[in-house]
Amino acid sequence: MDSEITINGIRLTIVETYEEMCRLAADMLLERIRVNPAMNLLLPTGSTPLGLYGILTKEYSGALGQATFFNMDEYCASLKGQIALIPETHPAGYRNYMQENLFGRVLPKATHFPGIENVQEEGYYDRLIEDSGGIDLCLNAMGEDGHTFGFNPPGTSFSSRTRLVKVNEGTRGVNKNITGMTTPEYAITVGLLTGMESKEILFLVSGKRKADILRKVMLAQEPTPLIPATILREHHQCHWIVDEKAAVNLK
């Protein structure tokens, strides 16, 4: 059974399991897609949204064909001193991940990833989002150090926008453990402000390994760049959906 708690003015919906978290998020997304089938979505990768993507592809693929998808990030590597996106089919890459887990079966109208254009021309991806009408719904997760909206590590300015970042060693290690593959060194990621400009956010937190950071995010005296996900406390349409394992330190 779902329960709700409010901490520091933030209402969290706590569901029993990961599967229930994904089901609730899928229902909320589908409710919105029915009203606005041509909506713009901003999406994460990682392990958190996999169950949700599974539900969408199995049960609702037909409903998503008119939506436009923006991804939060993609890995880069340095080749002979030049930074380039990793190849599209790279097994650790996010274009590959999205193709396998969602786009290959949903066949969306349009998909976008932040790319090298953004290194050559600052503001490119944020402008693309803005010129498309902005993000209607963002699905979001966070890493164990509180990085959120892609790869915005502790210390990132709350006014950051899409840019090239070096992925820190901690996150490279965590992602290597999850995927079994070496994590590329760089990424192009949307910024914290890029994500916060979304009209609505579904923020998903699952599992024991997120329990410590979720507690820090909720109990920090005020939002701080040292814990990037605390910025979500400032968003008025952010739905916090967490499972029992992640919420274990909150009670």
Which residues of this protein are in contact with ligand GLP, per CB under 6 A?
Answer: 44-48, 72-73, 141-143, 150-151, 171, 175, 178
DSSP code per residue over 189-246: E--HHHHHTSSEEEEEE-SGGGHHHHHHHHHSSS--TTSGGGGGGG-TTEEEEEETTT
Nearer to ligand GLP, 106 or 138 (CB): 138
Nearer to ligand GLP, 44 or 225 (CB): 44
CB of 213 to ligand GLP, least distance (A): 10
CB of 48 to ligand GLP, least distance (A): 3
Q: Label residues 123-141 b or e (16+ Cβ within 10 Å = b).
A: ebbbeebeeeeebbbbbbb
At which residue do the structure tokens 């701080």 appear?
224
Nearer to ligand GLP, 63 or 179 (CB): 179
Report the residue number whose CB is nearest to ligand GLP.
Answer: 46
Host H or E run for residue 186: strand 186-189
CB of 170 to ligand GLP, least distance (A): 10
Nearer to ligand GLP, 48 or 96 (CB): 48
CB of 34 to ligand GLP, least distance (A): 26
CB of 102 to ligand GLP, least distance (A): 14
The three-state secondary structure class of 100 is: helix
d(CA 62, CA 130): 26
The pair of three-digit structure tokens given for residue 89, joined into one six-digit string: 């089919």
Radius of gyration of the chain measured on its C-alpha atoms? 17
